[in-house]
Each structure stands twice: as C-alpha cells, then as structure tokens.
Amino acid sequence: MRGRHRPLGRDGGPVTARGTPHRGLKRRLADGERLRGVLLRLPSETLVEMTGVAGLDFVVVDCEHGPADLTLLQHHLTAAAAQGLDVLVRVGSAEPALALRCLDLGAAGLIHPHVDGPEDARRAVAASHYPPLGERGFATYSRAGRFGAVTAAEHVAASRETLVVAMVETRRACDAADAIAGTEGVDAVLVGPADLAADCGFPEPGVVDALASRAHDAARANGRAVMAIVPGLDAALAAERAGARLVVYNLAHVLLDTLRSLTAPGTADATGDPV
C-alpha cells in the first residue's frame, strides 16, 4: 500500500509498508527533484504497472478527456501502489465532488483544467484541501484514510501532501498567470497548448510559445513548479532544460510513435503502396 495511506512517522509524514518515510511528489519537489511520469488516457492497470517497472515517478489519470471512471481509477491507484507510484488525476473543470472522490480514493494530487484567473485557482485549492486552506469534505473511512485505521489528525497531516496543479489554457489565463501562480495552495502550473492555440484562433506556433513562456516565468517567479506534457524523450529533455520539474509523457503518443517505428521502411501495405 502507498505510504500516504498509512499511519505517520515521527516527522509527521506518511510511511511505507515497511515503516520507512514515503517521499511524495510534493515533498520531492520541495527537495528540488525533477520528476517524470506518464499521462494515461488508455484505462489499463497493466500500463500503470509497466510505468512503475520502467522507473518513472508518477501516473496522471485523465478523468477529463479519458474514459476512466472512478472504479477504473481505484484499480489504477491499487496498481500504482504496488509499484510505489503516486497518482495525479486530471478532473473536469468545476467538479468539486469529483475532486473530493478522487482524493478520498487516494490520489496524490489533482490537475485542475481551465484555471483562467485567481478565483478559479482559489476554487481549485478549496476543492483539494481541508479547512482552513480549503473546503474539502472530511471523511476518515475512505481509502485514503485507510478505512478508518488512522486518526483524524494523521489523515489531515497526510492530506497536506496533496499536490495542486493549475492548468492555464487561454490567453486570459496567461495574462493572469502571475495571480494564478501566486494563489496560496497552488503548487504547479501546466500550460495546455492545444486549448491555448484554439483560444487564440490557431495562430503561428510562436504566439502560443510566447504565451506559454509567460505562464512558465510566472510560475517560477512565485516558486511554483512548471509541469509539461511531452510526446517523447527529446521534448522531455528540452522541457527540463527550459525549467520544467514535472515532465509528463503522453503515453498514447509514445505508444503510437513506437508502433509506427516498428514498420520497416520500404515495406508495403495490402495495396502495394510503401508504408
């Protein structure tokens, strides 16, 4: 089981099944680490397990665009726990009830889409944390509370490790990036380039890149981590050189590129045309 579901150690942090301290994503970021994970839109516990075997740090389960429901999410969380992986969940916008249930199931954090200004950022934080920082409903009999096996104080202490990521996906959001990143309780900023391009009328790539850079600069200026979703290793390295500390591989893109690479140049398909 994940350390975040167990009684706390002497330092107030969660511990693993062996009683050793578990360093979750939020703590590892605070320690200056760069972390890599995968974005999972293809519901599969096996892919979660493979992510852990490959040595990556976390999984993002997409409950906004992906087909995963809460039952599948729990299966993914169980598979991730066996591999020592943390799980972040991208929830739909303005869905505090879904955010609550994801956290009660044991998600390590939430990615909130369509954060266009500080009010949206405050709502995201409110849905992600218990009072006084937030407004999350309290229950100790959830999976995250080890079904009541931990005290309320321990559960609250462990919940402070919840990672809150604000997605910036419009020109308006980029203009407000400093206020968004400066909101108490926001830990990281993720630019959604596809939605940003759509919001801007699909301009030249340089326009979107400049807006994204503005948002990233605001995140770093406020001491927040930059998250980036990338299609492969070269893009991951470029994102890290640019300052990203949470790099997420789009697993569907990686798998499709890998399958395409298995098609040997010069072979032909059923029509006789070169592949």
Domain ranges of the chain: 3-261
Catalytic choice (5, 22, 65, 155): 65
- 228: DSSP letter: E
User: What DSSP assignment string belongs to 8-25?
Assistant: B-TTSSBB-TTSPBP--H
Closest C-alpha to 74, from 47, 46, 45? 45
- Predicted local confidence at residue 95, as pLDDT: 77
- Reading phi first (left if > 0) and then psi (alpha if -120 to 50, else beta), residue 159 is in alpha
The string of pLDDT tens digits covering residues 66-75 is: 888 899 999 9
| Domain 3-261 class, CATH top level | alpha beta
pLDDT per residue as tens digits for the range 25-38: 999 999 999 999 99
pLDDT score for 195: 95
Q: Tell me, what amino acid is at 65?
A: H
Residue 112 among the catalytic residues: no
Average pLDDT over residues 121-125: 96
Whether 188 has a pLDDT exceeding 60, the answer reads yes
End-to-end alpha carbon distance in the chain: 46
Question: Looking at residue 65, what is its pLDDT?
Answer: 87
* pLDDT on residue 216: 98
Residue 164 pLDDT greater than 80, yes or no: yes
Interval 150-169 mean pLDDT: 89
User: Which tokens in the block code for residue 11?
Assistant: 């330092």
Single-letter code of the amino acid located at 135: E
Task: With a cut of 90, say whether residue 209 has pLDDT above it.
Answer: yes
Q: How many beta carbons lie within 10 A of that of residue 7, not counting itself?
A: 15
Q: How many Cβ atoms sit within 10 Å of the Cβ of residue 162? A: 26
pLDDT at position 158 is 81
> What gap in Å lies between CA 108 and CA 102, rounded to an integer?
9
Report the relative pairing of strands 58-62 and 86-90 from DSSP bridges. Answer: parallel
* pTM metric for this prediction: 0.87
Can you tell me which residue has the tokens 């693993």?
Answer: 16
